[in-house]
Amino acid sequence: MAKPAYHHGDLQPQAQSLALDILRTQGDAAISLRALAKQIGVSAPALYRHFSDRETLLAELAIEGFEALRDRLQAVDQELPRKALIEIGLVYVAFAQEEPNLYRLMFGGRVLPMGAHPRLDAAGKGAFQVLENTVARARDLGYLKPSPVSLMTAAAWSLVHGLSQLTIDGHLPSAKAEPMLTEGVLSLLLDGTRSDQQQSQQD
């Protein structure tokens, strides 16, 4: 493989981009700071000035992942709460299926335990907040059981995370193979007696 052109000042983003490519194709175990430095054409100490260790680099990749996930979740139209809740789940599962190795790094906890990287924890909470806000609105309007928002959000997150993990590990078919499976599972949280159309008529 030809070495990517290196320009002074862009070492950190270049290393992260290359590491993300490796993560996507080979998994996090294949990422090495010394190997990255050699591939880019710089000394290992030059790269260590930007990343104190391998885990710091992996944390940056996970932060990128959470920010990308948050952006996708925020793009969901919130006008119809019932539809929004389903769509949030679909977007979440689709992200995991498109980025399985990145998703595993973000949520695995094996390599990046909670509390070790404050910026990573904050990025994770940012994505979680979008889900929580959507759940809270749906619950307040009667689409979910009148349980505490924290409990309903935990249930919704457990559902989408479990479904994501099972599909990327091959235990359940992907959305491409079974397009209605994800939506059907997510609908289990909803109160089937209430529709977005009913809410629109009340507004």
Coil, helix or strand at residue 84: helix
Which 3 state secondary structure label does DSSP give 25? helix
Output b/e per residue, 54-87; b: 16+ Cβ within 10 A.
Answer: bebbbbbbbbbbbebbbebbeebebebbbbbbbb
Quick one: DSSP state of residue 41?
Answer: T
Q: What global pTM score does this model have?
A: 0.87
The CA dihedral of 48, 51, 53, 58, to the nearest 10 degrees, is: -140
Higher-confidence residue of 194 and 34: namely 34
Region 179-193: mean pLDDT is 78
Residue whose pair of structure tokens reads 């910026």 in the numeric block: 119
> pLDDT per residue over 124-172, tens digit each?
999 999 999 999 999 999 898 888 999 999 999 999 999 999 999 999 8
Alpha-carbon span 158 to 144, nearest angstrom: 15
Distance separating alpha carbons of residues 191 and 59, to the nearest angstrom? 38
The more confident residue out of 155 and 179 is: 155
Both tokens assigned to 151 = 């409990």
Averaged pLDDT score across all residues of the chain? 88
